[in-house]
Each structure stands twice: as C-alpha cells, then as structure tokens.
Amino acid sequence: MLANIRIVLVQTFHPGNIGASARAMKTMGLSDLVLVNPRCFPDPEASRLAAGAEDLIDNARVATSLAEAVEDCVQVVGASARLRSLPLPHYDEPDALARELVQNATTDPVALVFGRERFGLTNDEIRCCSHQVSIPANPDYGILNLSQAVQVLAYETFRAWRRLPENHFQQPRPAGERQPTREQLGHFHDHLSRVMRQSGFLTQPHARTEAQLQALFARARPSRKELSLLRGLLSALEPSSPDD
C-alpha cells in the first residue's frame, strides 16, 4: 500500500532538497519518488543529503510534466502553502488527507505533489490535482521548507497506514524488564508497611498513607529487577529485631 503512494517534486531548485525529501520519505516507509523537470539532477548534493536513502534517489524517475508524472493516479493532492487559487476540494488537516490517501492507495497509485521552493505550483499544475492540502502553520510565518513539508505529510501518511489494523504494525521496542506479578508487588508493599511501622514512621495502621504509596509505586511501574533493588534497600533499613 505504501508503495502506491508517490511523492512528486515539481521543478525543485536546490538538489539538496531532493535528497532531504528522499530521506524524509524513507523514514516513513515511502519509496516512489518522481521529479518533474528538476533543475539539477542527478547531483552529489542530492545524494549527500539523502543520507541512508540513496536508493530512492537512484530509483527516482524524471518526468517532463506533472500531467505525465501522475497520469496513472486516482488521487493527486497538491501541497500548497499559498491560499488556494482554484476551488479544488481542500484538506485543512493533513491527518484527514492521510486517511483518505491510504484508503485509495490500497488499490491504486496516488500522489502527493510539492511545488517549487519559491513559488509552488502553477495554476496549470494545480489543474492536474484532484485535491489540495495545507499544513496548518503560524499565520505570521507559515512557509515550511520543501523537505520539511514532505516530512510532515509522510509522517501523517505513515501514521494513517500504521493505524490500519490489517497492517499489524508494531514499533520495535526494547525487550525491557519483566513486570512483577501481583504477588511480588504484594510482598513489596507488606515489606514497606513493616519497615514504616518498625521505624516509628507509622505508629498505627494507617491505610491512607499505605494506599498513597501503593498508588505512587503503581505509577512508577517498577520492573522485577527494580523491585528487588527496593526490597534490598528496605532490608538494609529494617532495624534488626530478635524475631527476624
């Protein structure tokens, strides 16, 4: 599905922006890059800024018009910082766009189109789009750098894709420490209560203090290893008593 989502960069001026956009795409699982009349491509600066995404640069296709770049697509969304000049259907929120784009991409190619650094898309190019999208931004300074705009929309697209249950996406996580059982937690809290009484901090059973501390440790969610550490500390603090 992500393979059906094409990023089209129209007449990009700085080759570095092509590289940075390729990297942004790859971090979000996108791979299909089409360049319409790039000023300077291939270019070492594009490859340098692609960092680990040179494969996208190597596989990028060059088209001579936007119409050619998107002719097989069922949805073509122009990203525009400028107020829309043609009344195309307009997404005010990138997440709304991303959900629809990902749906359409289950069966057919779709495209996200980014215009020139200085002056975006021409009206003729906007006519090649079926929709437009804006990234909500500071009204006083709302112009994202080209590759930053690619990053934000790719991030939203990847999120919409991740959230589809059929993709079974799970972010890799560290194995992490095992969680303690309820019984192990119970032993810890019994130990803590005993130490509090023996130390004279609690002179009589005081359920409220104990409940507060239980809640605090519940929020901290100690692992088994951390619980052992705490019990070791409690043992060390425990006054040695004849019946121990």
Applying CB under 8 A, the residues found at the interface with a second copy are 20, 23-24, 26-29, 51-53, 83-84, 87, 92, 134-139, 141-145, 147-148, 151-152, 155, 158-159, 162, 171-174, 176-177, 223, 226
The minimum distance between CB 239 and a second copy, in angstroms, equals 31
Here the tokens at position 113 are 């189109």
Output 51 or 237, the one with its CB closest to a second copy: 51
The minimum distance between CB 179 and a second copy, in angstroms, equals 11
Residues in Cβ contact with 106 at an 8 Å cutoff, skipping those fewer than 6 apart: 1, 4
- The string over 108-126, giving b where at least 16 C-beta atoms fall within 10 Å of a residue's C-beta and e elsewhere, is ebbbbbbbbbeebbeeebb
The minimum distance between CB 81 and a second copy, in angstroms, equals 9
How far does CA 135 lie from the centroid of its chain?
Answer: 16
Coil/strand/helix, residue 137: coil
The minimum distance between CB 59 and a second copy, in angstroms, equals 14
Output 87 or 242, the one with its CB closest to a second copy: 87
The minimum distance between CB 124 and a second copy, in angstroms, equals 19
Residues in Cβ contact with 197 at an 8 Å cutoff, skipping those fewer than 6 apart: 203, 205
The minimum distance between CB 219 and a second copy, in angstroms, equals 9
The minimum distance between CB 139 and a second copy, in angstroms, equals 5
Output 117 or 210, the one with its CB closest to a second copy: 117
Output 71 or 95, the one with its CB closest to a second copy: 95
Output 118 or 208, the one with its CB closest to a second copy: 118
Which residues are registered as beta bridge partners of 8?
34, 113
Output 62 or 81, the one with its CB closest to a second copy: 81
Please give the Cα distance from 126 to 80 (Å, whole number): 9
Helix axis angle, 207-220 to 182-198, nearest 10°: 130
Amino acid at 167: N
Output 176 or 200, the one with its CB closest to a second copy: 176
Q: How many CB atoms lie within 10 A of CB 43?
A: 17
Amino acid at 136: P
Here the tokens at position 152 are 């934000």
Please give the Cα distance from 111 to 76 (Å, whole number): 5
